[in-house]
Structure 1
């Protein structure tokens, strides 16, 4: 079990679970976001000046390029990263002040594509492209993780999770592409 920036004791805390496909932001010192990650990635963003923070949890980085018209939705990091930044800006954060932590991106199933690695690389590249400073990351490997994040203070607690408690990987459904009707006679 590893810890980063131990969470201090204080007023009663309301723990809010961040599920796949969510991006939440708050300035309340009474909120703690929590999630469990396998191949998914969670981004914890924090503005130390306005004390606004947020967390997202994405399943896949981007829709496949080889499927024309593939829908960008809440499963994809490309959507949830923008949503998280915008949610924080709407609460008073300033983009130039944002600091990031990245967690997850494990390759928990050896027989599948390296989804976790692709998610991790996407998240790093997004932060680099947007000029958001990455303070800490714990990405990759094969272990699932539990992340607890206090958005108003930027404090994070990270723990590894036994495989039997890790969330299952649910690949996004592939959209059906029609190519016209065929009549058999």
Structure 2
């Protein structure tokens, strides 16, 4: 947790890592994360002035996994339920919650479209839960840096500049056709 000051009031920055979520009503708190193919759902209840953010890696765990423990929070279904339930515990009401979705980039060409799968899952979850999706910045090939002021619901999303990492290409060794016996 970082506290910064200047001419503005003290700001408490909380970084939300993969598999984590944070909920707050403190006007001095800013939740922040960096996303590639992961999704962050930012929820805000404007009546209760409570907001939160999660950061999940994949929509669902492999079917062969059971007893995930803390790893469960890395998957969309668990991450979304934890975020919604924690907001309700603090006084938010599902019917007045508003959602923003970010991330879901397809960072590596030629690989499974994990970002697209994550985005689709999150949109379907919100629809099934009756939570209005008011803003979405998902897809593409760039990472995003995200800041949420949970008490106000204000979100700032910026594209992270730089080259998209590519899967390494295996080099074929050069051969001359000679055989050496030893």
TM class by shorter chain equals: 0.7 to 0.9
Matched length = 158
Give the alignment partner of residue 12 of structure 2, picking from 11, 14, 23: 14
Shift in Å, 1:111: 2.8
Equivalent residue runs for 1:97-136 within 5 Å = 97-136=96-135
1:55 alignment counterpart: 53
User: Is 1:34 aligned to residue 32 of structure 2?
Assistant: yes
Deviation at 1:68, TM superposition (A): 6.5
Unpaired runs of 5+ residues, structure 1, are: 1-8, 167-185
Shift of 1:85: 0.4
TM-score by length of 1: 0.80
Greater relative CO, 1 or 2 (CA 8 Å, sep 6+): 1
TM-score when normalising by structure 2: 0.81
- The aligned residue for residue 145 of structure 1 is 144
In 1, Cα distance between equivalents of 2:87 and 2:125 = 16
**Kept after mapping to 1: 8 A contact 2:25/2:51:** yes
State the distance in 1 between where 2:106 and 2:12 align. Answer: 31
Distance 2:65 2:36 in 1: 28
Larger CA deviation: 84-93 vs 156-165: 156-165
Unaligned regions of 5+ residues in structure 2, if any?
1-6, 166-182
Q: Which structure would you say has the larger Rg?
A: 2
Contact 1:21/1:59, CA 8 A, preserved across alignment: yes
